[in-house]
Structure formats: structure tokens, C-alpha cells
Amino acid sequence: MEDYPEFEEIQIGSVSCLGKEGVPVWGIIHYLEQTCLNHMKLTTVQRICELSARGIENYRFSVAASSAEIFPSESLLDSSFRDYVVMADNEKSPDSFWKVISSYKRPVVFYNNGNRKIPLYDFTYPEAVRITSFTEQSPFQVDAKGAVGALIDLVYAGEREERARQIFLNEQIGQSARNIEAIVRASAVISNSNVPEGVRRYAEQQLINCLGSQAKLNEKVGINQVTIRLDGQIDVKG
């Protein structure tokens, strides 16, 4: 990001999809909330792996010992969390750090650049997920914008959906489809062999957890007719 040169640019885009007929409003709201929380965790873990692959030491990462507030009055950069759990130091293993990420609804991980703690995910960042359009009538339709690689991972979380996506993209002709396929997905960053094995092992478990829960959500609400949009490019539908 422009303000934090340590962070690589994450491609921003939108995903639009339909649900099935007859999903009650509380089911839709639950789906949207859990998808946004999974996106937050997935993008956070992506950032950890991205920085670790570039040689950033484990002790520079810490996670707040409380979740982000539901209605924060300021950016997470300016929030005053009382306690933090460091990924690893002389006394603790990484277990407690990753357990917080796994068990908290809105875990906030920070990177210490030597001068200050920088949140890896903040609702003010352009890659943070935003619901840009939502139609409740049956079937419901939702548009979400943010780090598009993580959005694609989530919307195609199930094996059946992933196979369908690959078949669809392989059949497309044109630059827009190739651009979609070239998106760096969160899952690819997390599984990259350049990520230190100790970090990658924990990160891949987080990936499995996120995509496993998301696949069940997608099936429950019957996600279909996915459209992926990249800024300044033609929509690609799957």
C-alpha cells in the first residue's frame, strides 16, 4: 500500500453472486457476516505469509488479545489495545498467536516495523471487504469489493465450485479471462514455498478452516451466477 511500502499491492476487485430462492433474512445476514469475517482472516494470513516470505522475523508480528470492536470509532492503527500476543519469542511458541487468530471473530494482527505497530488489516484499507450492493428479495444478490484474490477463494471455496470455475475460465477466450486467472489468490500466497515452513504450516491450517467453513456457507445459501470485476476491465461471469 502507498502508506506502508512494506506491504505489497493487493489487487482490488468485486465479486457479485446470487443465492437460492427462499433463504430467510437472518440466514442471509449470517452468510454476509461470516463471509466478511473469513475475508478478514484470510487477507490477514496472506499478509503474514507475504512478509514472512521476504524475511520478516516472527517476533515482529503480534495479535491483539481482544477482537476489534463491532463499531470502532477510529482506525485500528489508532486503537489502544491493552495486551498483545507475539507470534514467537524466547518463552512462547507460535501456538498461542495462531490460536487467537483462529478463535477470535475479528482478530487484529500487527506488524512492528521498528517505529510503530501497523495493522495488517484495517476496515479503512482499500483491500478490506465492503458490501457495495445488497438486494434482499428472493433470490438475494450481493456485491462485495476488496482484496479480490481472497474473495475468489471464498466464493469458490468448495471443490465442486472450484472445478466449475476452472472449467469455465479454461473455456473463455479474451484478455479479461486471462486477467482473472492471473490474479494472485490468498491461497497461493499462503501455500508459497518461500514462506518459512513454521509459518506456512500454521497458515495453511487457517486456510483450511476458513475455506471449509465458507464452503458450507456457500452450499447453505446456494451461491451461483458469480461475476468477477476488476477495475477498468470487462466483467467475467462464472
pLDDT in tens, 30-75: 999 999 999 999 999 999 999 999 999 999 999 998 898 888 877 7
| Residues in CB range of 154: below 8 A, 6 or more apart | 35, 38, 39, 42, 210, 211, 214
Asked if residue 44 belongs to a domain, the reply is yes
Binning pLDDT at 50, 70 and 90, where does residue 199 land? very high
Q: Quote the mean pLDDT of the chain.
A: 86
Evaluate whether residue 96 is within a structural domain: yes
Among the ranges given (58-67, 80-89, 176-185), the one the predictor scored with the smallest mean pLDDT: 176-185
Look at residue 193 in the predicted model and tell me its pLDDT.
94
Predicted confidence band at 174 (pLDDT cuts at 50, 70, 90)?
Answer: low
Residues 6+ apart with CB under 8 A from 19: 28, 31, 139, 140, 141, 142, 221, 222, 223, 224
Closest Cα partner for 187 from 215, 217, 226, 151?
Answer: 151
Query: Cβ distance 162 to 199 under 8 Å?
Result: no
pLDDT of residue 204: 95
3: in domain = no
Residue 231 confidence (pLDDT): 66
Given this model, what pLDDT does residue 173 score?
Answer: 45
Residue 6 falls within a domain, yes or no? no
Q: What's the grid cell of residue 216?
A: 458450507
Residue 7 resides in a domain: no
Q: How confident is the model at residue 166 (pLDDT cuts 50, 70, 90)?
A: low
Residue 1 lies in a domain: no
Predicted confidence band at 138 (pLDDT cuts at 50, 70, 90)? confident
User: Binning pLDDT at 50, 70 and 90, where does residue 93 land?
Assistant: confident
Query: Averaged over 202-230, what is the pLDDT?
Result: 92
Q: In 3D, which of 7, 209, 18, 218 has the Cα closest to residue 127?
A: 7
Residue 230 lies in a domain: yes
3-state DSSP: the chain helix, strand, coil percent, rounded to 5? 45, 20, 40
Per-residue model confidence (pLDDT) at position 162: 61
Q: What is the pLDDT of residue 82?
A: 77
Enclosing domain of residue 96: 12-237
Total of domains in the chain: 1
Residue 131 predicted with pLDDT over 80: yes
| pLDDT at 23 exceeding the cut of 70 | yes
- Please report the sign of the dihedral spanned by the C-alpha atoms of residue 37, residue 86, residue 202, residue 114: positive
> For residues 209 and 2, what is the distance between their CA atoms, to the nearest angstrom?
31
Domain-embedded: residue 4: no
